[in-house]
Every structure is written in structure tokens, then in C-alpha cells.
Amino acid sequence: GENVEQHPSTLSVQEGDSAVIKCTYSDSASNYFPWYKQELGKRPQLIIDIRSNVGEKKDQRIAVTLNKTAKHFSLHITETQPEDSAVYFCAARDSSYKLIFGSGTRLLVRP
């Protein structure tokens, strides 16, 4: 079945710098890749997603890139702000239409 690996597990950046979180997946049939943000004590919420027919998608300060050949996708956050501090999860939809999540990245943005 699908396996999703996420790196790094923790990431600390200075406010204003960029942050990059990377995920790899194993099932070449996967075609949908969402990213969720979870603030402390809150529920996960979708921040951006990408489908396999595109290589990049942007939404203001966040972007996601997908490399189908290498089976990896990345989340890029530019001009980070303290409110970006949270745990971020990547996921991939497997061939049986279920989402398989990565283990999460704890992002800390230092003021």
C-alpha cells in the first residue's frame, strides 16, 4: 500500500525567512496530494492541495510542487510569520481512494 514519508520532523525559521517541507510517496497511482495545518489543540485544516496533472500551485505565500517522476512533493511557505507556527501534514490519496498522511512537521517561526 501507499507509504508517505515527511521531512523534517521539526523546523525552526526566523520570521520572514522561507520554510520548505518535503514528502515522498510510494504508490505511483496516487494522484491527489493535500497539505493540512494543525494549530496546537485544534483540528487539521486544508491549506492547499495539488493534483497529479499539474506541477505547481500557489496561493499567496504558500505553494506546493509535485515531481511525479521522483514521487515527491513539497510545501513552500515564503515570508513566514509567527502565525505560521503549527504542525503541517502532507497526504497522498492511494489507489483505493484513501488519504495516507505523513508523520507531520512542527514548524516554529521565531519573531
CA distance linking residue 92 with residue 55, whole number of Å: 15
CB 19 within 8 A of CB 6: no
Amino acid at position 94, single letter: D
Q: What angle do CA 87, 11, 3 make, to 5 degrees?
A: 60
Given candidates 58, 61, 98, 110, which one binds other proteins under the rule CB under 8 A?
98
**Choice between 14 and 97, CB closer to other proteins:** 97
**Choice between 78 and 99, CB closer to other proteins:** 99
Q: Does 1 bind other proteins (CB under 8 A)?
A: yes
Binding region for other proteins (CB under 8 A): 1, 6, 9, 31-32, 34, 42-46, 49, 51, 89, 91, 93-94, 97-104
